[in-house]
Chains A and B, each alone.
Chain A
Amino acid sequence: MTIVLALIPILPLLGFLTLSLFGGRLPRKFVALIGAGSVGVSALLTLIIGVSFLLSQNSGGVIVINLWDWLNTGGLTASITFRLDALSLVFIFVITFIGFLIHVYSVEFMADDEGFSRFFAYMNLFVSSMLILVLADNLLLLYLGWEGVGLCSYLLIGFWYKEPANGYAARKAFIITRIGDTAMIIGLFLLFLNLHSLNINDLMQQASLKWEVGSSLATWAAVLLLGGALGKSAQLPLQTWLPDAMAGPSPVSALIHAATMVTAGVYLIARTHVLFSLAPAVQTAVAAIGALTLLLAGFSALTQHDLKRVLAYSTISQIGYMFLALGVGAWSAGIFHFMVHAFFKALLFLAGGAVIVALNEEHDILKMGGLRKKLPVVFWTFLIGSASLAALPLVTAGFYSKDQILWYSWSAGNGNPWLWAAGFFGAFLTSLYIFRLVFLVFFGEIKTQPTHQLGKLMKLPLIVLAAFSLVAGFIEVPNSIGSIHLFSGLINTVLPPVILAHENIPEIVLQVLASVISLIGIYLAYLFYLKKPALGASFSKSRISEFFYSGWGFDRIYDVLFVKPIVWLAEINKNDFIDRIISAIASTTIFFNRMLVITQNGKLRWYIMGFAIGIVFILSILMKI
């Protein structure tokens, strides 16, 4: 069984190698077969290993496979070892299954693209890196996957590289996440220096033995790892890259920038939860950052008029919820929301991509409308995804996951009513902005006629994802309704269960409030954008809307604070002063050369004169000795 575990990340890697070496020469059908097939087989293997894992739960159940020693030098040993526990099982399940569906969708989506095999090569490499990230048993291997997904993200955002703006967006994503990555690698150094290991299990044991709660080393380690997580997961203050990352093809946005890679930060925090428990201040910061980000991105999502940018801000906001959950110590709730979010956000991006394709690359939702009848499959699946995102009570998966986070943000150890209020208001914003999208795109009168009909390969993943967006929630139902705890039971074998501290309000009250606010959001969206469009239009003209539209001016602030000074410095130092020294050496040499060239005048008698003087010179030196 262990070898199967190794095959899961290796198969997509083989797919990548095959496609990058021979992809250009293979027929498209074959490329699609390798690209989607390798991930498909991985998904199948995940299913097999998942079932056997769940059955062997009683006997510990952790599967470890050691492939080879990667580094072994000076006390540092890092091996290529994959370790499967409940947490990584959830992640590999989401990565391979949603990854497979997105690959299938891409076969049709990218059918006419000249970079067909390049696309699948990058996608396979991405899936492989992401699997390495979540299966790694030491932080160095995790970092390898971490950088691998960063690279693929860069390659795929700039996939249509002929447009300079796409290259710019790709570089922005790469550089901003790099800031976080740098913090993270310093964190790794710190951990290794103090605990002499990079193996995650050893580290966590050592840390809890050697470090006291709130000690400065633990705090620094947690802060640095958090830096990496913030960059990758596009949280405040490193969130600005994600909306621009929408320059890539829609399946890329679905897979990388919604379902999997951006949740790597969530995974990292959950995986190193011991460190965060040892640094309560940092953990509180995680919750605060999550709460702030989810509000900030929610407001921005409300004002965007590019379909994919709305979804991008929504992603930032939803990851904010996950951070909020991790911050209050509700580990399993964060992971649960990750899984459910992966289903409905991938669905929304794929359906959004389908709308964009059908309307011939029209991104502006203000120019869309009335697509309900024209694209029924897309409409229904998008509606289901939106309902799940808006946490429509009882029937959608999003309700169960978000509700759990809201409840714990009040009642868990680190929770307080302020965090709950932020999440609560965020839920209102969520249902408002997503149903604004639904009403603008699918209702009203037709503004742009669809020119393209969707094939089976694009519809099928939408339907499967829509089904999951509805039913995935039933594996974790709160006590007040049905009390099913399959998911948290599984996750709690790895992560500590949530400790309730403030049960001064019954869970059901908060649930009813959250349900009502989500319905109010939907109603307001209906009122503003369908019934009385003038209201919505007057809001979008206001200055506050402009401010939200620009993402709270973060880009401008960073531009003034960081980009401008560096460009200014570069401008002053245009004639690089070190360069000056080097060119001085060169010009001196050239000067001497000019002087000597004068002596080469072609006159034989001058040369003889030179000989004579030289001989006199040498003789006089010899004589003296």
Chain B
Amino acid sequence: MVTISVEIQILFAALLFLIGLVGLLVRRNVIFMLMSVEIMFNAAGMVFIIAGAHWGQVDGQVMFIFILAVTATEVSVGLALILQMFHHFRTLDADELNKLKDDN
């Protein structure tokens, strides 16, 4: 079995997180932004797994189960919000939805 050094693993997780972040920043469609957030969550969960494997502890995997549960709820709430958003404004463009600011 090929062992991959822990640095590479962490670097991979960081890359995943960065992809999520960049996606969040460049996409204007709210659904895609939500998906990018999911990617970032997974990157964070991956770090837990890596750390658990590295130290030979089960805690990391337990934590990941937690994160899965949290993301599941987050996605359901997020999707519900997106539905309402579209219902109200007839658009999913995040830059269009910029009413929350001072008028000056």
Q: CB within 8 Å of B: which residues of A?
A: 597, 600-605, 608-609, 612
Contacts and interface: CB of A to CB of B under 8 A. Distances in A.
Contacts of B33: 604
15 contacts: A597-B104, A601-B98, A602-B97, A602-B99, A602-B100, A603-B95, A604-B33, A604-B94, A604-B95, A605-B24, A605-B25, A605-B28, A605-B94, A605-B95, A608-B24
Contacts of A597: 102, 104
B16 interface: no
B102 A612 contact: no
A608 B33 CA distance: 11
Given A597-B102, A597-B104, A604 B97 contact: yes
A608 B25 contact: yes
B10 interface: no
B12 to A, nearest CB: 19
Contact of A600 (B24, B94, B97, B101): B101
A603 B21 contact: no
Contacts of A612: 21, 25
Contacts of B95: 603-605
A464 to B, nearest CB: 78
A605 B99 CA distance: 14
Contacts of B94: 603-605
Interface of B: prevailing SS? loop
Interface in B86-104: 94-95, 97-102, 104
Interface string B21-47: 100110010000100000000000000
B44 to A, nearest CB: 13
B97 to A, nearest CB: 7
A602 B25 contact: no
B47 to A, nearest CB: 14
A119 to B, nearest CB: 58
A604 B100 CA distance: 10
Given A601-B98, A603-B95, 12 more contacts: A597-B102, A602-B99, A602-B100, A603-B98, A604-B33, A604-B94, A604-B95, A604-B98, A605-B24, A605-B28, A605-B95, A608-B24
Contacts of A602: 97-101
A601 B95 CA distance: 10
Nearest to A600: B101
B52 to A, nearest CB: 23
Contacts of B101: 600-602
A602 B97 CA distance: 8
A448 B33 CA distance: 99
Contacts, number: 29
A609 B25 contact: yes
Contacts of A605: 24-25, 28, 94-95
Contacts of A600: 101-102
B94 to A, nearest CB: 5
A316 to B, nearest CB: 66
Those 10 A-B pairs whose CB atoms lie nearest each other, nearest first: A602-B98, A602-B101, A604-B94, A602-B100, A603-B98, A600-B101, A601-B101, A597-B102, A603-B95, A608-B24
Contacts of A609: 25
B85 to A, nearest CB: 11
B10 to A, nearest CB: 14
Contacts of B104: 597
A106 to B, nearest CB: 64
Interface in B40-62: none
A604 B98 CA distance: 7
Nearest to A609: B25
Nearest to B97: A604
B33 to A, nearest CB: 8
A46 to B, nearest CB: 75
A608 B24 CA distance: 8
A608 B101 CA distance: 15
A136 B97 CA distance: 80
Nearest to B100: A602
A608 B94 CA distance: 12
Contacts of B25: 605, 608-609, 612
Nearest to A599: B101
Nearest to B21: A612
A230 B28 CA distance: 86
Interface string B1-30: 000000000000000000001001100100
A597 B102 CA distance: 7
A605 B100 CA distance: 13
B22 to A, nearest CB: 10
A605 B94 CA distance: 8
Contacts of B98: 601-604
Contacts of B24: 605, 608
A604 B82 CA distance: 14
A608 B95 CA distance: 12
Residue of B28, B99, B100 with highest tally of chain A CB at under 10 A: B100
Nearest to B22: A612
B102 to A, nearest CB: 6
Contacts of B28: 605
A123 to B, nearest CB: 61
A600 B99 CA distance: 11
A602 B98 CA distance: 4
B70 to A, nearest CB: 19
A608 B37 CA distance: 11
Contacts of B99: 602
Nearest to A612: B21
A23 to B, nearest CB: 55
A609 B95 CA distance: 13
Nearest to A603: B98
A605 B33 CA distance: 9
Nearest to B26: A605
Nearest to A594: B104
B41 to A, nearest CB: 15
A162 to B, nearest CB: 48
A608 B22 CA distance: 10
Contacts of B97: 602, 604
A603 B104 CA distance: 15
A205 B25 CA distance: 93
Contacts of A608: 24-25
Nearest to B37: A608
A609 B101 CA distance: 17
A612 B99 CA distance: 22
A601 B102 CA distance: 8
A607 to B, nearest CB: 10
Contacts of A604: 33, 94-95, 97-98
Residue of A597, A601, A605, A609 with highest tally of chain B CB at under 10 A: A605
Nearest to B96: A603
